Amino acid sequence: MIVKWANNMNFSKNFMVIARWELKNTLKSKKFLIIFFMQLSVLAMLILMFNSFAATIESDKGLSLTPSLVGFATVDVDDQGGLFKKSIDPEVIKVYSTNGNDSQARLGAGQTNGFYTVSPDSIQRIQNGEVVDTLLYLDYSDPRRSVVRDAINTTTKSVSSALTQSYLKSATSSNTSSQTGLKEEKTGESLPMQIIRKVMLVVLLFLPLFLFGNIIIDSVVGEKERKTGEILVAMPLSPVEILLGKGLAVVAISALQVAMWVAVLLAAGFTINNVIVVYLLVVLTALPIVGLTSIIAAYAKNYKEAGIGITFAYVLVVGFLIVPALAYISRKSFSANISPMTTVMRLFAGEAISLPEILMSVTLVIFLSMVFFGIAAWLFRRDDVMFGPRPGLIRLFLELIGFKKRM
């Protein structure tokens, strides 16, 4: 038991030594420092461009470039009074006036995305201070239902708020009128702007994780090209200790970059709820990305080959991260939480999120980290992979799963 504990202590000490050495050399590099601060400059430019873009699309005189164009979602509206119908945002919803006779059939046939009905005597009820009944029918197999629901909820709240203000104003006035005044007032951000801001912010938070792959490539592939890999392997260190040490140094650098980006975003006026949890989850996501990069670096012969491999790998990783996040915006499905980007987006937006939803993405991140670092260490300890002649990918895969023994 004592021997096992001592071995664990030596293991931790060894890979921490490698990590400190890699981190120290990286931070001393002028090339790294230039790239580091250039990335911060790029972030500042992105924020400036986004703020200008947001001001343009929300301006009454500006061009409408929002992603939710007219025709994206349609709703049949039965509102004889017309008060609610004219308050629906036309940039989000295309409105079809109807008497409600065939609207439910149209909804079932997929010809419309929703059916919104308002009490036929809505104006009289409003004038009498009575409740106006509204009802929204949705097809829950339609992925655009969340867009329709949010737009109609925004309309209802807007009309209700305007009527309340109008009622309070008329109650304090000495002059009464039989006509109900309604002033449209826009409060908060539009739905398309909320989507744009969410997606942009979550992409900016995860972007630093993909900016330091060249450090792992230089650290591992560089050992091969400089012929220093033999010296490293000959040292009393296991491949796992070497890979973990190099990987931990890159994760630490990524964590520093993410922290600085979060600080810049907060200073720029972006709202990030649960900032500590968001930061930790983003940094945790760096582990499998660094592990995957280590696999490519361990197998690649040279920088060119590693660059091609890392490009394809990062495209797949970005797709895995962002597609579920976009799917969650439109459909809010439980399975979309498999991506840590979805979880981070929900956390910084202040949404209620359950423990199982958080554990889904965290468990996957930890599992992939162990698998990727394990494969990278397995490759790193093989002399034929490190020094040649290098076996093919199919042969390595068969050996990895035990279908074929190593010669």
Of 18 and 221, the one with more pLDDT = 221
pLDDT of amino acid 153: 86
Q: Give the C-alpha separation, 56 to 65, whole Å.
A: 9
pLDDT of amino acid 70: 55
Q: Is the pLDDT of residue 62 over 60?
A: no
| Residues 111-145: tens digit of each pLDDT | 888 888 888 888 888 777 778 888 888 887 777 78
pLDDT of amino acid 174: 46
| Residues 140-151: tens digit of each pLDDT | 777 778 888 888
pLDDT of amino acid 68: 42
Torsions phi, psi for 137 (to 5 deg): -100, 130
Q: Is the pLDDT of residue 355 over 80?
A: yes
Q: Give the C-alpha separation, 367 to 376, whole Å.
A: 14
Lowest-confidence region among 20-29, 153-162, 337-346: 20-29
Q: Is the pLDDT of residue 9 over 70?
A: no
Q: Is the pLDDT of residue 260 over 50?
A: yes
Domains of the chain listed by start with CATH number: 2-55+194-400 (no CATH), 73-188 (3.40.1710.10)
Query: Hey, what are 81's tokens?
Result: 């009074």
Q: Is the pLDDT of residue 285 over 90?
A: yes
Q: Is the pLDDT of residue 362 over 90?
A: yes
User: How confident is the prediction for the chain on average, in pLDDT?
Assistant: 77
Q: Give the C-alpha separation, 364 to 337, whole Å.
A: 10
Q: Is the pLDDT of residue 63 over 80?
A: no
Q: Is the pLDDT of residue 404 over 80?
A: no
pLDDT of amino acid 341: 92
pLDDT of amino acid 371: 92
Please state the rounded mean pLDDT for residues 283-290: 92
Residue 367: pLDDT band (50, 70, 90) is very high
Quote the pTM value: 0.63
The length of the chain is 407
Q: With helix as H, strand as E and coil as C, how does the chain read? A: CHHHHHHHHHHHHHHHHHHHHHHHHHHHCHHHHHHHHHHHHHHHHHHHHHHHHHHHHHCCCCCCCCCCCCCCEEEEEECCCCCCHHHCCCCCEEEEECCCCCHHHHHHCCCCCEEEEECCCHHHHHHCCCCCCEEEEECCCCCCHHHHHHHHHHHHHHHHHHHHHHHHHHHCCCCCCCCCCCCCCCCCCCHHHHHHHHHHHHHHHHHHHHCCHHHHHHHHHHHHHCCCHHHHHHCCCCHHHHHHHHHHHHHHHHHHHHHHHHHHHHHCCCCCCCHHHHHHHHHHHHHHHHHHHHHHHHHCCCHHHHHHHHHHHHHHHHHHHHHHHHHHHHHCCHHHHHCHHHHHHHHHCCCCCCHHHHHHHHHHHHHHHHHHHHHHHHHHCCHHHHHCCCCCHHHHHHHHCCCCCCC
Lowest-confidence region among 47-51, 228-232, 240-244: 228-232
Q: Give the C-alpha separation, 252 to 10, whole Å.
A: 21
| Residues 158-213: tens digit of each pLDDT | 888 877 777 666 656 545 444 444 444 444 455 556 667 777 888 888 888 887 77
Please state the rounded mean pLDDT for residues 74-101: 83
Q: Is the pLDDT of residue 65 over 50?
A: no
Residue 12: pLDDT band (50, 70, 90) is low
Nearest C-alpha neighbor of 19 from the set 242, 186, 213, 297: 242
Please state the rounded mean pLDDT for residues 293-320: 88
